[in-house]
Amino acid sequence: MTRAGFAALKLPNVEVLNTDFIRLRSPRINGVTAFIGNPPYLRHHALSPATKAWAQKAAEKLGLKVSGLAGLHAYFFLAAAGNGRAGDIGCYVTSGEWLDVNYGAIVRDLLLDGLGGESIHVLAPESLPFQKTATTAAITCFRVKKPPEAIRFQSITTVADLASLADSGEPVARYRLLETGRWSTFVRTRNAIPEGFIELGELCRVHRGSVTGSNRTWVTLPGANDLPESVLFPSITRARELFAAGAELASAEQLRLVIDLPADLDELDVGDRKQVEKFIASARRAGVRKGYIASHRPKGAWWAIGLRAPAPMLATYMARRPPAFVRNLVGARHINIAHGLYPREELPEDALTKLAACLRTSITLAQGRTYAGGLTKFEPREMERLPVPALDSLLRS
């Protein structure tokens, strides 16, 4: 089809190569070579061992490391760095996930080093940059062999706003980019924290809920087994429980129970211990001990989930709508389908209620990270960066 287009337009000086770009060595020429394109979006699962081995070698040659989880688009940046010569330029449009994830480190490292990042223009998912696909896209401009003093970041809300790439965006100094592995914050915090507001993280720590390793084993209904009450904890085990709760979780009646056994079974009295050991034996027979999470629990206590203390506020963290922020009035625990918000210092009840109300009404999906399909996620550190009223404002009656 490419050739047909060239033929119809009678374009001279074009060559189509039906081959593997990442392995191709382009011959030297006089003058600048420009790399431009939309590298295929293929996750690491789809890449062959030989392709991954190529990436390892290519990164090593540049004194860098590449994660085995990196997608094909990262390899295209590597190929440009390997193929390019000083003064060559490039402009790729890709999904924006490499800005933040661990396996995107190779792209970040390249842009701060030999690939010479110049600017990154991030299109919000609601701009639908790729035909009906709600995902963050990034157009990255680079200049080979020129480690930058700063890289410009631009946030784009609609595709129509995308004009010239040459001068747009705000520069972020190299030393700040080196300090962090999450570059999308430099896009989002172009909208600075307003006067009178602070980051949520200054008031609260945000912690992901506990991972059970096998919800089928460790999440149960009231009355479903003989375990003592002391090891059964009403918990948020589904995000919809928080969405349904509204402003506050006022009853634990509808909640399922998480079985949280002590690591040291000597803590239990004789009768309770007998029941617990029976349960542990049945879980062992079902192979629960061999699961990844269970087998990595400390001191061999594979049965001890270790639920966190109840959080005064709970939040959903992954949905197609902004997170729910819910006051936890019943001391429910939570597993990893929710985050718990724990004030750094004790806060009065009405301040917590005001804080939750503010978070419910002001937080938008744009402040999270959106994946293909439109699911938006707020990791704990990202949630801690959300703007909230300053403490004195919350304490005012």
Partner 1 sequence: MPSAFVAEPGSITPDPRESSLVRLAIDLGAADAGGPLSAAEARLVTRANRLMASTPRTRLATARRALRAGLDPLGDEFCAIRTPSARRESGAIYTPPALVQPMVDWVMDESPARVIDPPAVDVSSSTLPAASPAPIWWRWTSTRWLP
Positions touching partner 1 (CB under 8 A) are: 1-9, 11-19, 21, 24, 26, 29-42, 46, 72, 76, 79, 83, 89, 91, 93, 123, 129-133, 137, 139, 141, 159-160, 162-166
DSSP string, 202-241: GTEEEEEPBP-S-HHHHEE-TTSS---GGGEEEEE-SHHH
Q: Smallest distance from the beta carbon of 321 to partner 1, in angstroms?
A: 23
Q: Smallest distance from the beta carbon of 232 to partner 1, in angstroms?
A: 43
CA neighbor of 158 nearest in space, from 111, 114, 121: 121
Closer residue to partner 1 in complex, CB, 33/362: 33
Q: Smallest distance from the beta carbon of 39 to partner 1, in angstroms?
A: 7
Q: How many CB atoms lie within 10 A of CB 106?
A: 23
Residues 224/352, Cβ–Cβ less than 8 Å: no
Closer residue to partner 1 in complex, CB, 79/314: 79
Closer residue to partner 1 in complex, CB, 104/129: 129
Classify 20 in phi/psi space as left (phi over 0), alpha (psi -120 to 50) or beta: beta
Residues 186/154, Cβ–Cβ less than 8 Å: no
CA neighbor of 172 nearest in space, from 111, 214, 238, 258: 111
Residues in contact with 360: Cβ distance below 8 Å, sequence separation at least 6, in sequence order: 247, 324, 325
Closer residue to partner 1 in complex, CB, 166/395: 166
Q: Smallest distance from the beta carbon of 74 to partner 1, in angstroms?
A: 12
Q: Smallest distance from the beta carbon of 90 to partner 1, in angstroms?
A: 8
Measured distance CA(181)–CA(69) in Å, rounded: 16
* Structure tokens belonging to residue 101: 């994830």
- Residues belonging to the chain: 397
Closer residue to partner 1 in complex, CB, 84/368: 84
Closer residue to partner 1 in complex, CB, 150/390: 150
Q: Smallest distance from the beta carbon of 111 to partner 1, in angstroms?
A: 16
